Amino acid sequence: MPKAPVQKKCRVHKEVSKVSTKAGVKGAKPASKATAQGLVFNTDLGQHILKNPLIINSMVEKAALKSTDVVLEVGPGTGNMTAKLLEQAKRVIACEVDARMVAELHKRFLNTPYHSKLDIRIGDVLKADLPTFDICVANLPYQISSPFVFKLLLHRPIFKCAILMFQQEFAQRLVARPGDKLYCRLTVNTQLLAKVDHIMKVGKNNFRPPPKVESSVVRIEPKNPVPKINFSEWDGLLRIAFVRKNKTLASAFKQTSVIQTLEKNYKTWCSVHEKKIPEDFDIKTKVEDILVDGEFDKKRARQMDQDDFLALLHAFNKEGIHFV
């Protein structure tokens, strides 16, 4: 397997994924139509290169980079965004899965003042440990949007902000408000951990090749400190509430599978805390009582805000009922 050339001063790390030969990436499409640079972009990997310099400049501007910042870029492609980031940042860590794109990056920045500031990491960013960085700027492959957002938000140490390109509908879900059509579990989870703002819409023709969907750029700023809750348990609660987001919580919590899981969790909690389970204990009745006493029974997930869900989680935990 041929390796991308490694030049002096430019560090290249091979991480997690092994890159195959011939097309450069396992599953890459055959080179039938060449681009202006002699490359065929693999849309199966989400390779839609942002070509409009005005959009690139705007994204970099919104990042408010300082000369001391280390920037994480995911999916740099041929380096259009990378070039602008290198002009302003102390260092750019570029994560790229395609060996062909790695070669393009080397070629583009070889014999330039920015070559020593570029640190390329080859591999799947979802499987690799993220490095320490200050700001993330990326035109993401859209198929990794959701897992990457949460990998980013759970990363420590906390970074300053991220300027990210997403499919427009995904971006709208991130910034939705209670009652909005696209308000969902993704919305509540993200907004628990970060402040999210929509920056701009980006049309299909700003990419090469054009994607089938419209795009949007958002700014994500992690909350610091983050709420002191078990995130896995929080997500467990939301999974139940949003299975039928237009139904009442009383309806959502009546599902047999939900009741069985909560009963199992309750018995485990009692065992760990050496508490005796009352002989007349009935988990279904207990759940109904918690919902009614807190006036949650008639509420619908699509209309509840973050404080509502935090109060609901507290009400269940107070009675020893957990979601993990």
Same domain, 119 and 265: no
Same domain, 188 and 82: yes
Same domain, 27 and 93: yes
**Which CATH number fits the domain that encloses residue 189?**
3.40.50.150
Same domain, 105 and 139: yes
> Which domain, by its residues, includes 266?
231-318
Same domain, 247 and 207: no
Same domain, 269 and 206: no
> Among 142-151, 187-196, 242-251, 270-279, whose mean pLDDT is lowest?
270-279
Measured CA angle at 310 (ends 304, 312), to 5 deg: 75
Q: What is the pLDDT of residues 82-111, one digit of tens each?
A: 999 999 999 999 999 999 899 999 999 999
Distances (CA, A) of 218 to 44, 135, 165, 166, 265: 23, 13, 7, 8, 38
Instruction: Write down the pLDDT at residue 228.
Output: 87
Contact (Cβ atoms closer than 8 angstroms) between residue 149 and residue 162: no
Q: What is the pLDDT of residues 198-216, one digit of tens each?
A: 999 999 999 988 888 999 9
Task: Please indicate, yes or no, if residue 2 is contained in any of the structural domains.
Answer: no
Instruction: Write down the pLDDT at residue 39.
Output: 66
pLDDT over 90 at 6, yes or no: no
Same domain, 45 and 182: yes
pLDDT over 80 at 48, yes or no: no
pLDDT over 60 at 27, yes or no: no
Q: What is the pLDDT of residues 265-318, one digit of tens each?
A: 999 999 999 989 888 889 999 999 999 999 999 999 999 999 999 999 999 999
Contact (Cβ atoms closer than 8 angstroms) between residue 73 and residue 85: yes
Same domain, 141 and 211: yes
Instruction: Write down the pLDDT at residue 47.
Output: 61
Which residue among 222, 246, 278 closes a domain?
222
Instruction: Write down the pLDDT at residue 307.
Output: 95
Number of alpha carbons in the 13 Å side-chain half-sphere of residue 17: 19
Q: What percent of the chain has pLDDT over 90?
A: 75
Work out the pLDDT band at 251, boundaries 50, 70, 90: very high
pLDDT over 50 at 32, yes or no: no
pLDDT over 80 at 29, yes or no: no
Q: Enter the DSSP assignment of 278.
A: P
Which residue among 222, 241, 259 closes a domain?
222
Same domain, 194 and 296: no
Same domain, 70 and 206: yes
> Which residue shows structure tokens 């919305």?
187
| b/e sequence 203-216, b meaning 16+ C-beta within 10 Å | eeebbbeebeeebb
Which residue among 170, 202, 222 closes a domain?
222
pLDDT over 90 at 35, yes or no: no
Q: Tell me how far apart the alpha carbons of residues 131 and 94 are, in angstroms, rounded to a whole number.
A: 11
Q: Tell me how far apart the alpha carbons of residues 22 and 270 are, in angstroms, rounded to a whole number.
A: 58
Same domain, 117 and 242: no
> What's the structural domain count of the chain?
2
Q: What percent of the chain has pLDDT over 70?
A: 85
Q: Tell me how far apart the alpha carbons of residues 80 and 86 are, in angstroms, rounded to a whole number.
A: 10
Q: What is the pLDDT of residues 59-85, one digit of tens each?
A: 999 999 999 999 999 999 899 999 999
